[in-house]
Amino acid sequence: MHRASALLFSSSVILRKLHVLPPSVPAISSLHTISSLRTLLSFLPQSSSPPTATPDVESVTSDGGDTREIATRLGLDLSDSLLTQVFTHKSYKHGFLPTNERLETIGRRFLEFYVTDRVDKEQPEGDLPILIKPHLEHTRMARLGKAMGLGKVVRYTLPASTEVAGKNSVLVTAFHALIGAIYHDKARYYCLNVLF
């Protein structure tokens, strides 16, 4: 299998696990079988009105929820310690729990690669950074994180004055961290040892 094809196959498996890629779309096994990026991203929910912040509270803290339940619902086989890390934002006052910063960086870069490759194949004409930007918008990723229920399990502490914008940022970070965790746990060995 060609290196790029194998990486795209891994990408499709990860995105299917996260329910970004619907089961009806076959696994990507070659560069020629990639379906439309518009179709992939059309599964994002429509935006809804964000909740309003409570101005008389100094900070808002969420201690998260049942990470095992969300992993089961999404069909993910990740360890409890990795799930705890995925859903612990750096703002959470927690002491010794590892945060999702590094996993978020890995996941964001992986998603950027995947979207860049898809857009390049689907729209060979035009300025690539401009064509990619709408597919990776912060609000779009926050809506996806909310639709997946990540807001119910992520741990964070935010100033009340930034609750709405801050929670969207926390959702995007958790979404990227989840992709990063799947790559780190399931695809890293394959990508590093088989592909390269």
pLDDT tens readout for residues 10-40 = 555 566 555 554 454 444 433 332 333 333 3
Token pair, residue 2, equals 């060609």
pLDDT tens-digit readout, 45-62: 333 333 333 333 455 667
- Tell me the domains of the chain and their CATH numbers: 60-186 (1.10.1520.10)
What is the rounded CA–CA span in Å between residue 70 and residue 146? 12
DSSP per position, 84-110: HHHTB-TTS--SSPPPSHHHHHHHHHH
Q: Tell me the whole-structure pTM to 2 decimals.
A: 0.69
Judge whether 17 and 6 are in contact, CB under 8 Å.
Answer: no
Checking if the pLDDT of 6 tops 70, the result is no
Report which of 11, 165, 147, 166 is spatially closest to residue 70, judged by C-alpha positions.
Answer: 147
